[in-house]
Amino acid sequence: MGEDNARLSHLDASGAANMVDVTDKPATDRTATALGAVVMKAETLDLILSGNAKKGDVIGTARLAGIMAAKRTHELIPLCHPLLLSKVSVDIEPDPALPGLRLSATVRVSGPTGVEMEALTAVSVACLTIYDMAKAVDRGMRIEGIRVVEKAGGRSGHWKAE
């Protein structure tokens, strides 16, 4: 860790897990973006892009699943705060070089805590939805590279992955 006093914010002095108290933190505009990818056979990507997958519109369904998941992050991750999100976008683009789909989720809020977990949850659930909808034709798909690539707002300011 870079700081001498670095510690896990969700653990108290005795090591017990607790929700961080954000009562006295000012509400600021906060944004986070996360990325991920689903790697699959070229034939699977073609099937998804043609709209002929057995379960229907894979990309549209995954986008909606990601948006819904971001809004419910606090129900899935025990120590996350419920937030009134102002924006959730999930973008899904084909990448024949993988082959597969590249996903990006950006989440915004005006509040006392960041939205990195909401962006990560959106990307993760969108990837899982793609897997679910296409697993009948390609059980070997891989979900890869889920990570936060940018966050802005709050006390720690702007951060962008290298």
Residues with a known catalytic role = 132
Give, in order, the Cα–Cα distances in Å from 140 to each of 39, 41, 65, 98, 132: 9, 8, 22, 14, 12
Quote the radius of gyration of the chain (alpha carbons, Å): 18
Beta bridge mates, 106:
33, 89
H/E segment holding residue 129: helix 116-134
| DSSP labels, 42-107 | HHHHHHHHHT--TTS-HHHHHHHHHHHHHHTHHHHSTTPPP---SEEEEEEEEETTTTEEEEEEEE
CA distance 110 to 42: 41
